[in-house]
Amino acid sequence: MNHGPSAARGFMTTFLDRYPKQHDRQILFFPPALTFATVRDALHDRTDIGLGIQNIHWADKGAFTGELSAPIARDAGAEYVLVGHSERRHIFGETDQQCADKCAAAERAGLTPMLCVGETLEQRERGETESIVTRQLKAGLSMLAQRDVTTSLIAYEPVWAIGTGKTATPNDAAQIHAVLRNALADLVGDKASTVRILYGGSVTPANASSLLAAPNVDGLLVGGASLDPEGWSQIASASA
């Protein structure tokens, strides 16, 4: 919940000046809903950058004042949607079933869901990380056909590392990403290797490259560090 339309215009000007087209990676923006059109218009000739929405309701339409449906987001120009972000789960109480419903709604409308999974510090200390992320992954994807699972995006975001300055080490990330890859193999077999799994949690320009170099880490989901266009352009340009 940052950067209204006015701030976003300046942000996009600065970022795009510092980030020329690069064809070996994919960059996605997930702006707030009221800022979406501003970012979309700024990207009119940047086909190398994708655009998503931060949240959707699971119904296609109806009496849900204040909510956004997947068809509305798609009509506005969204290609992707975040589902099950830790803040949605832990602040707003979203359940695994609601995440499954949202992934299904996204696919119906032609959006690609990015399903977020991750454990709290308490769950980590109890040794529950693997069971938590596996449960969240399989539940969230449970209503999708195999084809749609393989085109979805997964993001591992340990709740204890979001906005805290604490970051999972590359080895930590690689370990849990391997768990997620194995869980995906249970769902889609050998095609699990094609599903992109991102890491999110206190990503900075200083640690982006080392995280990207970790096995099974296919990308980064960047939160607070993406609010600065110069720092974000450095992360977007990072190489493993």
Residues catalogued as catalytic: 85, 157
pLDDT score of 109:
98
CA dihedral over 84, 90, 96, 99, signed as positive or negative: negative
Structure token digits, residue 206: 């200083």
Round to whole Å and give the CA distance between 57 and 59: 6
The residues of the chain scoring below 70 in pLDDT are none
pLDDT score of 167:
75
CATH label of the domain that carries residue 102: 3.20.20.70
Round to whole Å and give the CA distance between 98 and 64: 15
pLDDT score of 85:
97
Could you identify the residue written with the tokens 């352009």?
A: 233
Q: Is 116 in contact with 84 (CB distance < 8 Å)?
A: yes
Q: Is 235 in contact with 208 (CB distance < 8 Å)?
A: yes
CA angle at 181 for the pair 127 and 227, rounded to the nearest 5° = 80
Q: What is the pTM of this model?
A: 0.96
pLDDT score of 12:
98
Number of domains composing the chain: 1
Residue type, 182: N
| Residue 239 backbone dihedrals phi, psi, to 5 degrees | -120, 150
Round to whole Å and give the CA distance between 51 and 53: 7
Binning the chain into helix, strand and coil, the percentages to the nearest 5 are 50, 15, 40
- Residue 71: give the domain boundaries: 5-236
pLDDT score of 86:
95
Query: pLDDT tens-digit profile of 207-233?
Result: 999 999 999 999 999 999 999 999 999
pLDDT score of 240:
83
pLDDT score of 36:
98
